[in-house]
Amino acid sequence: MICTCLYDKCEAFALKLFSPFTKKLKQLPMKKLALAVALLIGSTSLFAQTGTKSDVPAANIKSLDGKAFNTATINNDGKPFIIDFWATWCKPCVSELNAINDDYSDWAEETGVKVYAVSIDDSRTMNSVAPFVAGKGWDYTILLDPNGDFKRAMGVNVIPHTFLFDGKGKLVSQHNNYSPGDEDRLYEEIKKLTGK
């Protein structure tokens, strides 16, 4: 509710709220202050950028072959895509991905949808992901998030957690947990997005 307040009021409120902190900043040694200023100058240059931002936050994770992968680059050439958080040890996650995989080639053919399956297996089980996926015969794009960086950026609490994005990268829907039949509802939404 507080967010509906006007910008100016908000600003005044924030300044008041932060007066103890900004005072504190003044008391800090010059060196720290200089760092803070450097940080500010560095970050302001980014505001020169324009353009539409996808809802997918940036996190530095890995592709299945170990290469660095920035999640902000996730897209599907204007078609919808799914980001599904899972792990080799998570039974409901595997059930969901098995269920989607049964129809995945039909989905892809009819709507062009693409699934990014983000494994949160840590270094204990991360090396099992490639053999595991091969043994399941899955066709997804697999990403590795062994230290939970992307999971944290997406605010995922528990897995499975499945996100559907439209072609512009806007988050359309999501569900956590898996119940058999969730895949049918997911496909209905994808069809709605693509007008099929």
Partner 1 sequence: MQSNTIRELSLFSSLIYFNKKDLLTFMNKSTLKYLLFSAVITCFANTAKGQQAPNMSNISGNFEINSQYYIKDSLIDAPEVPEKVLSNGFMNLNFDYGNFKAGIRYESYLNVLQGFDPNYKGSGITYRYASFTNDGITITAGNFYDQFGSGLIFRSYEERALGVDNAMDGLHVRYTPIKGMTLKGFIAEQRNYFSKGPGIVRGFDGDLQLNDLLPGWEAKKLRIGLGGSFVSKYQKDDSPSRILPENVGAYAGRTTIAYGSVSFDAEYAYKINDPSIVNKFIYKNGEALLMNLSYAKKGMGAKVSAKRIDNMNYRSDRGATGNSLSINYLPAINKQLTYRLSTLYPFATQPNGEMGISGEFYYNFKSGTPLGGKYGTMISLSGSAISDIQRGPVSNDTLGYTSDFFSIGENRYYQDATVEINKKLSKKDKLILTYIYQVYDKDVIEGKIGEPQVTAHIGVIDYTHKFNSKHSVRTELQHLMTDEDKKNWAMALVEYSYAPHWTIAVFDEWNYGNKDEHHRFHYYNASLAYNKGATRISLAYARQRAGLLCVGGVCRFVPASNGFNVTITSRF
Site for partner 1 in 78-137 (CB under 8 A): 88-91, 95, 98, 102, 122-128, 130-137
What single DSSP character describes residue 145? Answer: -
User: Of the candidates 79, 141, 149, 167, which one interacts with partner 1 according to CB under 8 A?
Assistant: 149
Report the candidate in 189, 182, 174 with the shortest Cα–Cα distance to residue 92. Answer: 182
Question: Applying CB under 8 A, does 172 fall inside the site for partner 1?
Answer: no
Residue nearer to partner 1 on the CB measure, 91 or 192? 91
What single DSSP character describes residue 58? Answer: P
User: Of the candidates 2, 73, 77, 109, which one interacts with partner 1 according to CB under 8 A?
Assistant: 2
Report the candidate in 160, 171, 128 with the shortest Cα–Cα distance to residue 146. Answer: 128
What single DSSP character describes residue 51? Answer: S
Which stretch in 36-44, 74-82, 104-112 sits in contact with partner 1 by CB under 8 A? 36-44
Question: Applying CB under 8 A, does 43 fall inside the site for partner 1?
Answer: yes
Question: Applying CB under 8 A, does 57 fall inside the site for partner 1?
Answer: yes
Report the candidate in 108, 104, 134, 130 with the shortest Cα–Cα distance to residue 119. Answer: 130
Report the candidate in 4, 3, 150, 137 with the shortest Cα–Cα distance to residue 63. Answer: 150
Q: Residue 50 CB, nearest distance to partner 1 (Å)?
A: 7
Q: Residue 51 CB, nearest distance to partner 1 (Å)?
A: 8
Helix (H, G, I), strand (E, B) or coil at 86: strand
The residue written with tokens 């058999």 in the block is: 180
If binding means CB under 8 A, how many residues of this protein chain bind partner 1? 87
User: Of the candidates 108, 110, 153, 189, which one interacts with partner 1 according to CB under 8 A?
Assistant: 153
